[in-house]
Structure 1
Amino acid sequence: MKWFLFHRLMALLPVLFVVSLVVFCLVHLAPGDPVLVILGNDASPQDIATLRQQMGLDQPLLAQFVRWFGAVISGDLGHSLFLNASVTDLFMQHLAPTMSLAFYALAIALTFGLAGGVVSAWQHGRLADRVIRSLATFGMSVPGFLLGLFLIFVFAVRLRWFPVVGYRSTNDDGLLNLWYLTLPAIALGFRIAALISRMTRAVMLDVLQENYINTARAKGVPESLVLLRHTLKNALIPVLTICGESFASLVTGTIVIESVFGIPGIGSLIVDSIERRDFTVIQGVVLLITVCYVLINLLVDVLSYLADPRLSVEGSEN
């Protein structure tokens, strides 16, 4: 296990380098100049040249990348070109809304996904199974932002059960925070719930065909115990893998949902930075998101191994 963790952490370095290089090139080669955003289009060429020199943007791209990546290795992600704060501080300031939304969406996805998968497998071929599979297909197909707009129109504008947009910190009122996050969490977690439901159903149907399940039924074990204790327990490992990968994608998927619902999270920070052409913030935040994504997948591998010791570390690595 120790060597497994060591190799996975070492594999993180080339991933970070490639991501850093790709993001740096995309950001700097894209149209737009932060100097013109700061000074305006009416600025004189002399003022533009002076500010570009002060910001280090007059140097070749390779020299800029080497300087920036060298600072990243030392733990310095740089400072915003527009805001008087470091990239790390900005990331931490916007992290709480994103993580609250991601955890809430994952809780909704787990609750309804597992319940739907169990009921669908239990009622295999019946009306409930067909309804749940139809909802899962719909959830896999509809974009999150479109579902979010629909939820706003129905539950916020028409019924007025939830606020249209906004966010409240958990330090103010936890229940009020959940009230503001419910609609965006549903919009974000609905697709994950559909994926978990389909995976749970498929795995449980396979497990229900095993001999030990038939033996348990022959011994008179109640069907509820067969489903929950024997069948669902063996279906949790692939579901755990999906949850880990889905949570990483939830963090990145909040970009659009946060913009739709006006939540000041990481997604809003990235969108605002792109509009301002704030190079250092975009590069640093994307790099931090990549680190979180890789570490979450590593945690999922470790939890899968601990949940079922029969899985070899080599198998988890693959």
Structure 2
Amino acid sequence: MKRFLFHRLLALLPVLFVVSVVVFCLVHLAPGDPVLVILGNDASPADVAALRQQMGLDRPLLMQFFHWFGAVLSGDLGHSLFLNNSVMALFLQHLTPTVALALYAQVLALALGLAGGVISAWQHGRLADRAIRALATFGMSVPGFLLGLFLIFVFAVQLRWFPVVGYRSTNTDLLLNLWYLTLPAIALGLRIAALIARMTRAVMLDVLQEGFINTARAKGVPEQRVLLIHTLKNALIPILTICGESFASLVTGTIVIESVFGIPGVGSLIVDSIERRDVTVIQGVVLLITVAYVLINLAVDLLSYLADPRLSVEGVDP
């Protein structure tokens, strides 16, 4: 276990380096100049040159990259060019809405996906199975932002059951916070729910063909117990893996949903930083999201091993 953790954490370094290179190149080669955004297009060439030198943007790109990446390795992600605050502080300020939205979406996706998958496997080949499979296909094919706009129009504008946009802190009222996050959580989590439902159905149908299931039925075990205890328990590992990977994708997929619903999370921070060409914030936040994605997947591997110790952490059966 310790060797596995060491190798996975060691493998994080080249991933961070590659992501850093790609993000740095995309940000610095994209059109637009943060100096002109700050000073305006009417600024004199002398003022532009002075500010560019002050911000270190007059140096060669290769030198800028290694200076920035060296600071990252020491734990310094830099400071915003516009907000007069460190990147880490800005990230932490916007992290709570993103995590709250991702967790809420994951809970909804898990509840809907497991329920749909179990019912679909139980009613295999029947009308309920076909209906759930059709809904799962719809959920996986509709883009999140389009579903979000539809939910806003129907449930916020027409029916007025939910607010159109906005966010309320969890420190004020938890129920109020959940009320504001319900529509964006559905828009964000429906695709994951569809994926979990399809995976649950497929895995449970495979498990239902095993001999111990027939033995349990022959002993007179109720069908509900066969489904929820014997079958679902043995289908836990792949479902757990899907849930962990989906949560990582939920965290990274909140960018568009937060923009649609006006949620001040990490996604909104990235969008605002792109609009004002705040290159330091873009680089640092994308790097932090990459680290979070890798660590979440590592945690999923560990949970899978703890759920079934027969699995080898090296990927080879003992």
1:182 aligned residue:
182
1:96 aligned residue:
96
Correspondences of 1:20-35 after superposition (within 5 Å): 20-35=20-35
Question: Are the counterparts in 2 of residues 120 and 132 from structure 1 also a CA contact under 8 Å?
Answer: yes
How far apart, CA to CA, are the structure 2 residues paired with 1:221 and 1:242? 29
Deviation at 1:234, TM superposition (A): 1.0
1:77 aligned residue:
77
Correspondences of 1:129-208 after superposition (within 5 Å): 129-208=129-208
How far apart, CA to CA, are the structure 1 residues paired with 2:32 and 2:142? 33
In the alignment, structure 2 segments of 5+ residues that lack a partner are none
> Deviations for 1:87-107, whole angstroms, at most 9, x for unmatched residues?
000000000000000000000
Question: Are the counterparts in 2 of residues 305 and 313 from structure 1 also a CA contact under 8 Å?
Answer: yes
Superposed structure 1 runs of 4+ greater than 3 Å apart? none
- 1:19 and 2:13 aligned: no
SS of the residue 1:194 aligns to:
helix
1:122 aligned residue:
122
1:264 aligned residue:
264
Matching residue's letter, 2:120? S
SS of the residue 1:309 aligns to:
coil
Question: Are the counterparts in 2 of residues 139 and 194 from structure 1 also a CA contact under 8 Å?
Answer: yes
Could you say if the C-alpha distance between residues 89 and 24 of structure 1 is closer, same or farther in structure 2, counting changes exceeding 3 Å?
Answer: same
2:60 aligned residue:
60
1:4 aligned residue:
4
How far apart, CA to CA, are the structure 2 residues paired with 1:131 and 1:38? 55
How far apart, CA to CA, are the structure 1 residues paired with 2:91 and 2:83? 12
1:292 aligned residue:
292
How far apart, CA to CA, are the structure 2 residues paired with 1:123 and 1:282? 48
How far apart, CA to CA, are the structure 2 residues paired with 1:251 and 1:79? 23
Question: Are the counterparts in 2 of residues 305 and 316 from structure 1 also a CA contact under 8 Å?
Answer: no
1:212 aligned residue:
212
How far apart, CA to CA, are the structure 1 residues paired with 2:66 and 2:133? 51
Of the structure 1 ranges 308-317 and 268-277, higher mean CA displacement relative to structure 2 is found in 308-317
How far apart, CA to CA, are the structure 2 residues paired with 1:169 and 1:96? 9
**TM-score normalized with structure 2 length:** 0.99
**TM-score normalized with structure 1 length:** 0.99
How far apart, CA to CA, are the structure 2 residues paired with 1:233 and 1:294? 27
> Deviations for 1:180-226, whole angstroms, at most 9, x for unmatched residues?
00000000000000000000000000000011000000000000000
Could you say if the C-alpha distance between residues 316 and 145 of structure 1 is closer, same or farther in structure 2, counting changes exceeding 3 Å?
Answer: farther
Could you say if the C-alpha distance between residues 251 and 296 of structure 1 is closer, same or farther in structure 2, counting changes exceeding 3 Å?
Answer: same
Deviation at 1:316, TM superposition (A): 7.6
Matching residue's letter, 1:57? L
